[in-house]
Structure 1
Amino acid sequence: MSRLSEEERDIFENAIYLPMLLTVLDRDYKVAETAPFKLKQVYLNLIEHTMKKVQKDMRENKTTMYKNKWKLVKGESDEAFTEYNFYFNGYHEVHRYFNDNLRNNTEKLLNYYFSHRHLDQ
């Protein structure tokens, strides 16, 4: 059983998912630049704005982790699982994530950012 509260775990998981999401958005931006969209700039603007929001959220998350002296370290990885080491309040916990869940949760997060984009302007 974890010693982390749900809110604390969310902060650690944001440190996992937000960089993944930024990588996906960066790759998608590069593809959209060369794609034959009729209104290409609309897609580029959407991706760029979303990237800026993700970067802002990452900075805030990193600041929270730094203030609390928490650390996340990626551990071993194989075809099925990736492990992450959570260091917090003098404790160390190893959390294993199913790779398909990492991908699916990153996709859910992308949907969240795209669907809530209009609220953040």
Structure 2
Amino acid sequence: MMRITNISITDAARQVLDRRKSVFKPRADDVFALTYMSSFINSDGTTVEGFRPGYAISPWPVEYLSPNWVMVQLSGGTEFHLMPRFKWSARERYNMDLVSPSLELFSIIPVPAGTWG
């Protein structure tokens, strides 16, 4: 599994992620994971208020992790498994932000070369 360490995170995203990680109580074979949600709709077909596509925190069974998943390690040591939405590279740099505070959804995007810092 590829390990991603070149990732920055906004303060808002770190606060939510750290809080949720501290109370995470996995079942025996679950991991702390972020999975991509492209839509979230009400029973009437409308989009749930506050929803923006992004990564949601969820327990994920170890047996359902594939070689395509990546392990993300943030500065400070927080780690999580990530269901990739695009092709990842250990050499690229990424940025993580909170895009839906009410639903606690995150964006993780590549940072263009020359803009890291």
Larger strand proportion of the pair: 2
Structure possessing the higher radius of gyration over alpha carbons: 1
The structure carrying a bigger helix percent of its residues is 1
- In the superposition, the TM-score normalised over structure 1's length comes to 0.28
Higher RCO (CA 8 Å, separation ≥ 6 residues): 2
